[in-house]
Amino acid sequence: SQFMLQNSEKLTVAGQLAAGIAHEIRNPITVIKGFIYLMKSGFGDKEEYFNIMSSECERIEQILTELLVLAKPHPSKVEPRDIRLIMMQTITLLHTQAIMNNVEIVTEFQQGVPVAYCDENQMKQVFINFMKNAIEAMQKGGKLIIQIKQTDDEKIMVRFIDEGTGIPKEFLSKMGQPFHTTKEKGTGLGFMVSKKIIENHSGEVHIESEWNKGTTLEIRLPVIKGAVEASAKLRC
């Protein structure tokens, strides 16, 4: 039967993604079409229709921007960079949102952390994603600790430690799947794309979470020696 077919048929990763994109983009387009129809028939408040239509367009743009990273997965402008500086710039970007959410950002940066060989813009995108997720998880406010240090095994470790809602176990095991979101306005793409970016930098992402306690997200990047080899590999 059709049910059996649906159940046994495992979509490929690309197929799943394509189905998700189609669905996510069809929704705002349906809304926009509806408002075009309403405007044509002369009903209601045009100003309000314009606002909704433009916010739906922004949503499509946001989804496409995040997906473009997947289309161009390799870091294109790889240069030696101080991760702490990139982080400070990211914190500046999200400062207002943090204040509005009553979130205090505490930085614990080790001195003399070696440079990482990375694509600065992509790294910024990753930090923005993880920082936003942490802030959004603390609806009642709290502390976000950001640590950067060198580990004993020659990695640069970046940690985001929040006191937010945490992630239930069932949900945690599905992190990284596209369109996996609990937010009304979420895309469910930020984590997947960020993990992909870090992996393309020969790094790793680990996440630990306890419901009602908080989440710790950890990034490990190779220090410059390893990264040079990795980027050489990416270029061939």
Residues of this chain that interact with Mg ion (CB under 5 A) are: 133, 190
Residue 187's binding partner among Mg ion, ligand ADP, none (Cβ under 5 to 8 angstroms by kind) is ligand ADP
Confirm or reject binding of residue 28 to ligand ADP (CB under 6 A). Answer: no
Nearer to Mg ion, 78 or 135 (CB): 135
CA pair distance 53, 57, nearest whole angstrom:
6
Nearer to Mg ion, 134 or 223 (CB): 134
Alpha-carbon dihedral sign for residues 123, 195, 134, 226: negative
Residue 215's binding partner among Mg ion, ligand ADP, none (Cβ under 5 to 8 angstroms by kind) is ligand ADP
Degrees, nearest 5: CA angle 61-66-72: 115
Q: Stretches 93-101, 116-124, 141-149, 190-198: which one binds ligand ADP (CB under 6 A)?
A: 190-198
Q: Stretches 24-32, 50-58, 75-83, 178-186: which one binds ligand ADP (CB under 6 A)?
A: 178-186
Residue from 144, 189, 223, 230 touching ligand ADP (CB under 6 A): that is 189
Amino acid code (one letter) for 124: K
Cβ atoms 200, 74 nearer than 8 A: yes
Pairing of strands 78-81, 116-119: antiparallel
Q: Cα 189 to the chain's mean position, in Å?
A: 6
Confirm or reject binding of residue 180 to ligand ADP (CB under 6 A). Answer: yes
Nearer to Mg ion, 129 or 202 (CB): 129
Degrees, nearest 5: CA angle 4-10-15: 130
Confirm or reject binding of residue 80 to ligand ADP (CB under 6 A). Answer: no
CA pair distance 148, 156, nearest whole angstrom:
7
Window 146-175: residues binding ligand ADP (CB under 6 A): 162, 164-167
Residue 149's binding partner among ligand ADP, Mg ion, none (Cβ under 5 to 8 angstroms by kind) is none
CA pair distance 234, 118, nearest whole angstrom:
12
Nearer to Mg ion, 150 or 216 (CB): 216
The residue sitting closest to Mg ion, measured at its beta carbon, is 190
Residue 26 C-beta-side C-alpha neighbours within 13 Å: 6
| Nearest distance in Å: CB 217, ligand ADP | 6
Q: Stretches 37-45, 81-89, 129-137, 196-204: which one binds ligand ADP (CB under 6 A)?
A: 129-137
CA pair distance 120, 117, nearest whole angstrom:
9
* Residue keyed to tokens 């505490």: 106
Which spans of this chain sit near ligand ADP (rule: CB under 6 A)? 129, 133-134, 137, 162, 164-167, 180-183, 186-192, 215
